[in-house]
Amino acid sequence: MQQEADRIVQTLKSKGLRVTPQRFAVYANLLTRADHPTVEQILCDLNQNAPTSSQATVYTSLQTLRDAGLVREVLLDEGVCRYDANIVPHHHFRCKCCGEIEDIAWDQFQGIDLHQLRPGLKVDSYEVTVYGVCDRCDVE
Amino acid sequence: MQQEADRIVQTLKSKGLRVTPQRFAVYANLLTRADHPTVEQILCDLNQNAPTSSQATVYTSLQTLRDAGLVREVLLDEGVCRYDANIVPHHHFRCKCCGEIEDIAWDQFQGIDLHQLRPGLKVDSYEVTVYGVCDRCDVE
DNA sequence: CTTTGTGCAAACGATTTGCAGGATG
DNA sequence: CATCCTGCAAATCGTTTGCACAAAG
């Protein structure tokens, strides 16, 4: 996956960010994951084999990547911040049981008419969060 | 507002909760507010004139009220928990600028078809969060 | 009088920050 | 070689908890 690595390096540089091993690792890790990991999960993942990055660095890396628009935070109803390298707008499904977060394609929900909001509110973005139970938890 | 007070007392009792001055004050305060205050805001409000309730008590009162289904938590993209005595389902608008949260009536958004979700997901609830700038911040 | 709530302070978990040394462009 | 990043530890912030005392039913 040399190509992949190069692309990541290019992406980082294009945002004016220095390419450090830690920052690279955080972003690369996030890109390969489909879930929405917490800082702790990322940290464990990175340091699983060899020590790669300290906790504080993961925090600041994520902050930098967020400011650069490469990742976004997902904050649902728990006390932790999750991160997502999927920048394309999408909705979320959250399992009340296992806490997993699953993406819902943007065009899944049609017919949301923001023009009916009261005048005076300038809309930047919106998203739908669905709460429920996923099939992995719903075993009877 | 003796009637109002009586109604609050009745509501608390009907949930099997003891009526204490602190718990009453927290719930009453929340009922009169249209915004979605944080614990800190509630605490300041209550103790503005005379000391009414300690911080820990506000936390546990809110927890109790939440368990009883009288208030609900609202957690948007900040690190704090906000509370809402409006139990009727509704959506939220969040001003990126001042942080204020405004309710959006439930029937404002039609046509959200949850049946199109992939089979296996059991939906309990959902809500739309709209991000933008409110008119108070959008002064040019 | 039994049960439950309050208040304080200490504990806690997630995140931020200050600073000295190290790596990047 | 100037600038920015890392790592550590201490600090901070919101929230929870243990415990002795007080109040509610």
Which residues on neighbouring strands pair with residue A104, listed in sequence order?
Answer: A91
Dist. CA A92–CA A73, nearest whole Å: 12
For residue B22, what are the CA distances in angstroms to A74, A130, A136, B43, B61? 34, 34, 42, 11, 8
B contacts of A121 (beta carbons < 8 Å): 93, 102, 130, 132-135
Angle at A74 between CA A68 and CA A60, to 5 degrees: 45
Whether residue B128 and residue A112 make contact (CB cut-off 8 A), yes or no, is yes
CA atoms within 13 A on the CB side of A34: 4
Please state, as a whole number, how many other Cβ atoms lie within 10 Å of the Cβ of residue B64. 18
Chain C footprint bases within 7 A of protein beta carbons:
4-10, 13-18, 23-25
pLDDT per position as a tens digit, B13-26: 999 999 999 999 99
Relative to beta strand A72-74, strand A82-84 is: antiparallel
Q: What local confidence, expressed as pLDDT, does residue A76 receive?
A: 78
Contacting residues of B for A131, CB less than 8 Å apart:
123-126
pLDDT computed for residue A28 by the predictor? 98
**Cβ–Cβ of B75/A73 closer than 8 Å?**
no
User: What pLDDT does residue B8 have?
Assistant: 98
pLDDT of residue A97: 84
Q: Is A107 on the interface with B (CB under 8 A)?
A: no
Distance between CA B101 and CA A36 in Å, rounded?
25
Average pLDDT for residues B46-68, to the nearest whole number?
96
The pLDDT of residue A140 is 63
pLDDT digits (tens, 9 = 90+) for B119-139: 999 999 999 999 999 998 877
Write down the mean pLDDT value for chain A. Answer: 93
Q: A29-33, A72-76, B28-32, B57-61 — which is least confidently predicted?
A: A72-76
Q: Is the per-residue pLDDT at B42 higher than 90?
A: yes
Give the nucleotide with minimal C1' distance to the Cα of A57: D6
- Report CA(A113)–C1'(C22) in Å, whole number: 53
At residue B3, the pLDDT reads 87
pLDDT tens digits for range B61-120: 999 999 999 999 998 877 899 999 999 999 999 998 888 899 999 999 987 889 889 999
Q: Is A76 on the interface with B (CB under 8 A)?
A: yes
- Tokens, residue A108: 């899944």
Residue A37: pLDDT over 90: yes
Check residue B129 and give its pLDDT: 93
Q: A109 at the B interface (CB within 8 A)?
A: yes
CA of B73 to C1' of C1 (A): 37
pLDDT of residue B38: 96
Task: Name the token pair of B90.
Answer: 């509704």
Alpha carbons within 13 angstroms on the beta-carbon side of residue A17 total 24
pLDDT at A21: 98
What integer pLDDT is reported at residue B127 of this predicted model?
92
Rounded to an integer, what distance in angstroms lies between the CA atom of residue A86 and that of residue A90? 9
Rounded to a whole number of angstroms, the distance from the CA of A57 to the nearest CA of chain B is: 20
pLDDT value of residue B77: 72
CA distances from B6 to A126, B65, B88 (A): 40, 17, 22
Give CA–CA dist B103/B87, Å, rounded.
Answer: 12
